[in-house]
Amino acid sequence: MELRRVFDTIPEQFDKYRPRYSAELFDDLISYAAIGPGRQVLELGPGTGQATEPILNTGCAYHAIELGEHLYETMKRKFGDRPNFDIVNDDFITHDFGSMRFDTIYSAATIQWIPEEIAFSKTFELLKPGGTIAMMLTVGDYRTPNEELYRQIQKVYDAYFKPTTTYKDAHKPFDYSHAADYGFVGFEKRTFRGRRVFTADEYVAYCGTHSDHIVVPEPYRSKFFGGLRDAVLAAGNRIVFDDTYVLYLTKKPL
């Protein structure tokens, strides 16, 4: 199975433990892209909707394309009764959008799974002149708030983290700033702050939503996740993440 497809095997766990983004980030994005009623918006790979509701709540014409069948079904259950909600279960790389064009296309930790030349050339084509592409991701720092715990966790990784496929092996490096090479203008990066606190069991469940963690096989899997749990339990059953929410913005010229 392609690494980008493994998220579809854990829809409930994915929905519960994947990080959300700050209200400030969405306020900034909505203002920048003038998202609201009458605007056509496309979300790439929404998963189970970690970045969906604030955009949907603007009253825009929200569209999404989701690769995973189970993630798609979860999205339909959560938002299918909203009159401005539309989603298709397909691969963005090969999907034919016909004559549809969008004012905004956005991605929450998804676009990097698409080859860069397809990601930027196809979104450029699908955007209306003056349209926005927004790309967001979370950078979680658990080292600074938990130095000793971080060291213990690294020992577990060194001993037992042996995935069948690594994230780096699954696709080429993705450079967001390369949008300018495909005709986009005004590229900028904005950052926002947040914090998450997990118990040992919650931390293990969250780690189990990372693509390359999902594919750790036995006999390593049990020892790996058990070791993570034991490390956090020994540190008082608490691990803190200081998060940076990164928002990249760029536009198609008028």
Which pLDDT tens digit goes with each residue over 188-214? 999 999 999 999 999 999 999 999 999
Distance, in Å, from the CA atom of 241 to the CA atom of 254, rounded to the nearest integer, reads: 40
Distance, in Å, from the CA atom of 229 to the CA atom of 160, rounded to the nearest integer, reads: 13
Residue 35's contacts (CB-CB under 8 Å, 6 or more residues apart) are 29, 41, 55, 58, 60, 103, 104
Domain range holding 116? Answer: 3-140+172-195+241-251
N-to-C CA span, the chain: 41
* Mean of all residue pLDDT scores within the chain: 95
Is 229 part of any domain?
Answer: no
Write out the two tokens for 240: 């803190």
Is 219 part of any domain?
Answer: no
Amino acid, single-letter form, for residue 94: T
With beta carbons less than 8 A apart as the criterion, state whether 83 and 60 touch.
no
Is 228 part of any domain?
Answer: no
- CATH number, position 118: 3.40.50.150
Q: How many domains does the chain have?
A: 1
Strand partners, 40: 61
Query: Where are the strands (E) in 67-184, listed by range?
Result: 85-89, 102-108, 127-141
Is 102 part of any domain?
Answer: yes
Is 236 part of any domain?
Answer: no
Is 234 part of any domain?
Answer: no
Report pLDDT for 165.
75
Confidence bin at 2 (pLDDT 50/70/90): confident
Distance, in Å, from the CA atom of 213 to the CA atom of 239, rounded to the nearest integer, reads: 18
Compute how many other C-beta atoms are within 10 angstroms of the C-beta atom of residue 30.
20
